[in-house]
A = this chain, B = another copy of it.
């Protein structure tokens, strides 16, 4: 008996139908209908990437281990593990669409404007129109006093600050605009008690609703992210990211600080990050069809070292006991003062940090995640170079940091790279053949492995026995991909002929060690922090994961390598780059800026380096997933299942509207 299997796909008008006998795999039926369903794991039910949505009828699911209960309830099935038992309508998510979205920059995702955002109510920077009486022999008032009067009479602003360079342009702008001008003014709302400040003067009356540009910036040790925002609508109009140009002078904050201490080092590092920032601002403005000179407000998040280096402030005290910064709450500066390529008088708000190793990226992350308003105890984890963790709720906040290193950002790993075109972002290894299947960002050949790819690779190598729990490569494994390389045992993820570079892409023993140290550091950090306030990991309501690549972590695999604690997946929330998101919120709304100041004030910093228990926790976590496997029951189960051929459920499921 044959059954009609009808496939629907997004964006395609006509569904395709085939008739197949009972027991046919959906993936096979799709093949008959000429519909490509990617099966990176080779149809083993292990990668979960062939998930399809059963819209009508039912299928028999052989395995749903890679699907969450919720996904199954929604009607998802793995095409390679589900068989036809009657007429069905199957929806196939368009995989090309995902690829295209990722192609230009994986960071790009729709950002929703806060519901309560209102320009001009909550925006400190405003566009004001002024019409001045021209001077005459009977009224020889100077230009500036004339403008001050117009501000007073037309906008009720009594006192206005102006910079000298803007003053030098005043006469020309007034006359060019025939005494009608548009002023961009920073009202300096909030608790500052300073008079409004002129940011820009433009001849004529600009369209009131044309974009007023602001930039939210996250300066990561490894990656710099810029969001270009229209302050009127609140919408993010361009998102760009790039490696921090300082990487060439050290991959972690400590080596940057050391370099900054050398003759001219501080200036060079400042110059390098500004080069990156200015390139990104230029690119973002190009995409939004604007110009950098129109960016009238900037909000910057970043760890304390990055903030010091951006401002040219010596960071040496950060790495020397007792580990203090020069400044956590940087006074307001302008783009001109720091050399940022924006409107020269644009205010640059550096968000407040808390300590040497808990910077503005973390306060911004707390703001973006809403941890400071949570009812239940919540853990916020920034899976970045510095592995900062915040634990708390609306009543209290404690924070710590550990030096995880840049391995998860693709740096410090031989073939590591940023999550951009050509990066292997997920790997599945066939348990029998030990052959890898890779998902590459964009449609190009691979050229390296990004953070999520590294986690995925590590996990797969461990689960398939290519790595032992100490991270040693099993050189006896029956595959030519395992070999003794210059850096010890290594596994070839892609052969030279398949890659963009024409060279093998490998994971070396050194890479593995770096990754193990990074994950151990992060794991030890949050466990020690939770212990210090007497909260068991089980008592944590939610685990919020920030960090520029956090959004793309496969939970299962992150748990399998012991990076994340083994808890119910529903308690994990992946927030992506919360640092830039916090900067975005503070950029938009002066109330959020007050709020983040409050977060910084409330947060108690716990110094891990003064804590022996951290070192113990760290060394225990240097294994896959941990010396104490009982802390990771799901991994224990997965290892058993893999041995018996049963795959574990997938966590990072493509959903129809992605």
List residues of A whose CB falls within 8 A of some B CB. Answer: 135-137, 139-145, 161-162, 164, 167-168, 170-172, 175, 194, 311-314, 316-317, 321-331, 333, 337-338, 355-356, 605, 607, 610
The CB with the most chain B CB atoms within 10 A, among A136, A323, A325, is that of A325
Assembly CA distance A272 to B48 (angstroms): 73
Knowing that A164-B338, A168-B311 touch, tell me 17 more A-B residue pairs with CB under 8 angstroms. A137-B321, A137-B610, A140-B607, A142-B325, A142-B327, A142-B328, A143-B326, A144-B327, A145-B328, A161-B331, A164-B312, A164-B333, A167-B326, A171-B314, A171-B316, A175-B317, A194-B194
B171 and A337 within 8 A (CB): no
B residues in contact with A145, CB < 8 Å: 327-329
Determine whether the beta carbon of A171 is less than 8 Å from that of B313. yes
Question: Closest approach, in angstroms, between the C-beta of A320 and any C-beta of chain B?
Answer: 10
Contact A140 B326 (CB under 8 A): no
| B607 & A311 in contact (Cβ 8 Å cutoff) | no
Q: Which 5 A-B pairs have the closest CB atoms?
A: A144-B327, A171-B326, A142-B325, A142-B328, A135-B324
Shortest Cβ gap from A15 to chain B (Å): 62
Please list 17 pairs of residues, one from A and one from B, whose beta carbons are closer than 8 Å in the complex, sorted by A's number. Answer: A137-B607, A141-B324, A142-B324, A143-B325, A143-B326, A143-B327, A144-B327, A144-B329, A164-B311, A164-B312, A164-B337, A167-B313, A167-B326, A167-B327, A171-B314, A171-B326, A175-B317
> Contact: A143 with B311, CB < 8 Å?
no
Give A197 Cβ to nearest chain B Cβ, in Å.
Answer: 11
> A328's contact among B144, B161, B162, by CB below 8 Å, is which?
B144
CA distance A141 to B135 in the complex (A): 54
Chain B: CB-nearest residue to A138: B322
Using CB atoms, name the residue of chain B closest to A609: B137
Contact indicator A323/B140 (Cβ below 8 Å): yes
A369 to chain B, nearest CB (A): 24
CA–CA, A142 to B136, complex, Å? 55
Q: Which of B135, B171, B610 contacts A322 (CB 8 A)?
A: B135
Enumerate chain B residues within 8 angstroms of A327, measured Cβ to Cβ: 142-145, 167, 170
Closest chain B CB from A519 CB (angstroms)? 27
Copies in the complex: 2
Closest residue of chain B to A337 (Cβ to Cβ) is B164
- The residue in chain B whose Cβ has the minimal distance to the Cβ of A338 is B164
Q: Report B-chain residues with C-beta under 8 Å of the C-beta of A333.
A: 164
Q: A142-B328, A143-B324, A329-B144 are in contact. Are A167 and B311 (CB under 8 A)?
A: yes
A143 to B170, CA, bound (A): 38
Taking CB atoms, residues of chain B closer than 8 Å to A312 are 164, 168
Which residues of chain B are within 8 angstroms of A337 by Cβ–Cβ distance? 164
For the complex formed, measure the closest distance between the CB of A126 and the CB atoms of chain B, giving whole angstroms.
20
A331's partner among B140, B167, B316, B323 (CB-CB below 8 A) is B167
Determine whether the beta carbon of B326 is less than 8 Å from that of A136. Answer: no
Instruction: List residues of chain B with CB within 8 A of the CB of A328.
Output: 142, 144-145
B356 near A140: Cβ-Cβ < 8 Å: yes
Residues of B contacting A607 in the complex (Cβ-Cβ under 8 angstroms): 137, 140
Q: Hey, which chain B residues are within 8 Å of A171, CB to CB?
A: 313-314, 316-317, 326
Q: How far is the CB of A345 from chain B (nearest CB, A)?
A: 13
Using CB atoms, name the residue of chain B closest to A327.
B144
- Residues of B with C-beta under 8 A to A330: 167
Distance of A312 Cα from B330 Cα, bound (Å)? 30
A204 to B161, CA, bound (A): 35
Inside 8 A of A170's CB, which chain B residues have their CB? 313, 326-327
Closest Cβ of chain B to A134, distance in Å, is 9
Expressed in whole angstroms, the Cα–Cα distance for A139 and B324 within the complex equals 9
Q: How far is the CB of A647 from chain B (nearest CB, A)?
A: 48
- The answer for the CA separation of A135 and B325 in the assembled complex, in Å, is 10
Instruction: With a 10 A CB-CB cut-off, give which of A175, A321, A326, A610 has the most chain B CB atoms.
Output: A326
Report A23 CB to chain B, min CB distance, Å.
67
- Provide the residues of chain B in CB contact with A355, threshold 8 Å: 140
Q: Point out the residue from B143, B161, B168, B326 that lies within 8 Å of A144, measured CB to CB.
A: B326
Task: State the CA gap A139–B328 with chains docked (Å).
Answer: 14
A162 to B330, CA, bound (A): 10
Chain B residues whose CB sits within 8 angstroms of the CB of A137 once the complex forms: 321-323, 607, 610
Residues of B within 8 A of A168 (CB): 311-314, 326
Contact B136 A322 (CB under 8 A): yes
Chain B neighbourhood of A164, CB < 8 A: 311-313, 331, 333, 337-338
- Report how far A329 CA is from B167 CA in the complex, Å: 11
Q: Are B326 and A142 in contact (CB under 8 A)?
A: yes
* A316: nearest chain-B partner, CB-CB: B171
Question: How close is A640's CB to chain B, nearest CB, in angstroms?
Answer: 46
Residues of B contacting A194 with CB < 8 Å?
A: 194
- In the bound assembly, the distance between CA atoms of A194 and B168 in angstroms comes to 23
Residues of B within 8 A of A356 (CB): 140
Measured between beta carbons, the chain B residues less than 8 angstroms from A143 are: 317, 324-327
- Considering the chains assembled together, what is the distance between the CA atoms of A312 and B163 in angstroms? 12
| Residue picked from A170, A324, A356, A607, most chain B C-beta under 10 Å | A324
Q: Which single residue of chain B is at the shortest CB-CB distance from A334?
A: B164
How long is the Cα–Cα vector from A175 to B324 in the complex, in angstroms?
Answer: 12
Closest to A144 in B: B327
A321 to B317, CA, bound (A): 59
Q: How far is the CB of A50 from chain B (nearest CB, A)?
A: 52
Report the bound CA distance from A314 to B168 in whole Å.
6
Q: Specify which chain B residues have a CB less than 8 angstroms from the CB of A135 in the assembled complex.
A: 322, 324
Residue in A140, A145, A607, A610 whose Cβ sees the most chain B Cβ within 10 Å: A140
* Cα distance, A19 to B303, chains bound together (Å): 94
- Closest residue of chain B to A266 (Cβ to Cβ) is B168
> Which residue of chain B has the shortest Cβ distance to A314 in the bound complex?
B171
Smallest Cβ distance from A510 to chain B, in angstroms? 33
B-chain residues with CB within 8 Å of residue A605 when the two chains form the complex? 140
Closest to A355 in B: B140
CA distance A527 to B329 in the complex (A): 61
Q: Which residue of B lies closest to A175 (CB)?
A: B317
Contacts of A313 in B (CB 8 A): 164, 167-168, 170-171
Report B-chain residues with C-beta under 8 Å of the C-beta of A321. Answer: 137
User: For residue A162, which residues in chain B have a CB less than 8 angstroms away from its CB?
Assistant: 331
